[in-house]
Amino acid sequence: MAAQEFKIAAIPADGVGAEVVAAGRAVLDALASGSGGRFSFSWTEFPWGCGYYEKTGRMMDEDGLEELRNFDALYFGAVGWPTVPDHISLWGLRLRICQNFDQWANVRPVHFHPGITSPLRKADSTPLDWVVVRENSEGEYAGLGGRNLAARGPGNEVALQTALFTEKGCERIMRFAFDLARGRERKKVSSVTKSNAQQYGMVLWDEVFERVAADYPDVETESVLVDAMSAKFVLKPEDLSVVVASNLNADILSDLGSALAGSLGLAASANLNPDRLFPSMFEPVHGSAPDIAGQGLANPIGAIGSAALMLEHFGLTEEAARVRAAIEATTAAGLLTPDVGGSAGTDRVVEAILANL
C-alpha cells in the first residue's frame, strides 16, 4: 500500500498556542514515525496572530485563505492577546477561516479523564463522556446588526444584534448530530434552544429538529431549554450523549462542559467542513491564556485531543484511540499540569504521553 502523506498547516498564533501546538505535533510525528511508513505528516507553519498584526496591521496574509486552501487540515493554537482588541483578532483570523472554509460543524467532546478531579462529585466513579455539536456558521454569531441605527441623542444609543437561522443551516447540523449519535454507544440527541423566549429562530430550530428526528427512529431525542440544560450538565450529565445547539448556546455549554471535566485546558474541538470542500480546522477550546503563556505550564491535553480528532478526520481511527489511551494513562498516573492540580510542566506531560503511546 502506498504511504499516505497528510499536509497540515500549523497556525499556533498567540500565547500558549505555540506551546500546545508543538505538543500536538510531537505526538502526531511520533505516530507517523512508528507507522512503518504507512502514513506521514508534512507540516507548514504560518506565523499569523496578534504579533503578526502588530508588525503588519493584518492578522493573516491577505491571500492567506488561498495559501491554506489545499491543505488536508489546519491545526490551530489560540488567538487573542491583550494588546489587540478581541473582535479584531478573532474575526481577522479564526472566524475568517471558519467562515470562508464553511466549517459549519463544531464538535466539542466533553470527556472526563481518570486521575483528574472534577467539580462534579460523580465524576470520579462514572466515566462521563458526551459531545457538544455546535452550529458554527450562523445563529447568534452571524454578525448581523448595527449600532446607532437612529440618532437618538447622547445616552440613548440603540444597538441591534440579530441572530440568523435558516432551515438548511438547522437541518444540516441536526443531521450531523444524529449521524454522530448513531455511531455512539448511547444513541441519543438532545436539542437545546430558548424557544420559549425567542419565538422566531429557536422555534424554527425546534420544528426542524422534530422533522429530522423522524428520519432517525433508532435515536432517542429530547428538547431542552438552555437554562435547564446548564443545570442538567451539572446534575444529570450521565443522561447525555450528543447535545446539538446554536452557535452561542453551544459555545457557552461546551465551556461549561470542559470546566466540569476539570479544566478548559483539557477540551478538544474540531471545526469541520463535513462536505470536505475545504480544509477542516482542529484546535483546543481554550484561549491564549496570557496569564501562563511562555512559562511551559500550559496543559497540552486539549490540543493533543484535537490532534486525535484530526486523526479521525483522516480515517486513522485506531491511531486516534491510541492517542486517547496514552492521554488517559498519563492522567491516571497523576502526571498533571497545575490547572488540574499537578505540578508537571507541559514538556513532562508530553514526554509521558509519548512514552505511553
Cβ contact 221:177 at 8 Å: no
For residue 227, indicate whether it is catalytic: yes
Q: Is 24 in the site for ligand ATP (CB under 6 A)?
A: no
Q: Is 17 in the site for ligand ATP (CB under 6 A)?
A: no
Integer Cα distance of 258 and 239 in angstroms: 17
Q: Using CA atoms, how far apart are residues 267 and 311, in angstroms rounded to an integer?
A: 16
- Out of 193, 247, 299, 330, point to the residue binding ligand ATP (CB under 6 A): 299
Separation between Cα atoms, residue 314 and residue 4, nearest integer Å: 10
Segment contacting ligand ATP (CB under 6 A): 4-12, 232-240, 246-254, 295-303? 295-303
Q: Indicate whether 302 belongs to the interface with ligand ATP (CB under 6 A).
A: yes
Question: What span, in angstroms and rounded, lies between the C-alpha atoms of 122 and 136?
Answer: 31
Asked about 216 being catalytic, the answer comes back as: no
Rule CB under 6 A: say whether 139 interacts with ligand ATP: no
| Contact flag: residue 11 with ligand ATP (CB under 6 A) | no
Answer for the pair 118, 124: CB distance below 8 angstroms, yes or no: yes
| Residue 12 lies near ligand ATP (rule: CB under 6 A) | no
77 touches 21 (CB < 8 A):
yes
Residue number, 274 or 342, with CB nearest to ligand ATP: 342
- Are the beta carbons of 189 and 244 closer than 8 angstroms? yes
Q: Does 16 bind ligand ATP (CB under 6 A)?
A: yes
Closest residue to ligand ATP: CB criterion: 287
Residue from 24, 115, 139, 287 touching ligand ATP (CB under 6 A): that is: 287
Residue of 53, 188, 194, 232 marked active site: 194
- One DSSP character per residue, 294-341 reads TTT----HHHHHHHHHHHHHTT-HHHHHHHHHHHHHHHHTT---GGGT
Known catalytic residue at 255: yes
Sign for the CA dihedral angle at 90, 92, 96, 97 comes to negative
One-letter amino acid of 192: V
* Binding piece for ligand ATP, criterion CB under 6 A, among 156-164, 223-231, 280-288, 321-329: 280-288
User: Is the Cβ–Cβ distance between 11 and 78 less than 8 Å?
Assistant: no
Residue of 52, 53, 75, 141 with catalytic role? 141
3-state secondary structure of 95: helix
Which of 235, 339, 216, 342 has the alpha carbon at shortest distance from 286? 339
Catalytic residue among 227, 236, 239, 275: 227
Task: Specify whether 236 is catalytic.
Answer: no
Least Å from the CB of residue 12 to ligand ATP: 13
- Residue 251 a catalytic site member: yes
Nearest approach, Cβ of residue 14 and ligand ATP (Å):
9
Task: Tell me how far apart the alpha carbons of residues 155 and 204 are, in angstroms, rounded to a whole number.
Answer: 35
Q: Which is nearer to ligand ATP, 237 or 265 (CB)?
A: 265
331 binds ligand ATP (CB under 6 A): no
Q: Under the criterion CB under 6 A, does residue 349 sit at the interface with ligand ATP?
A: no
Return the active site residues: 141, 194, 227, 251, 255
- Applying CB under 6 A, the residues found at the interface with ligand ATP are 16, 20, 80, 264-265, 286-289, 291-292, 298-299, 302, 337, 339
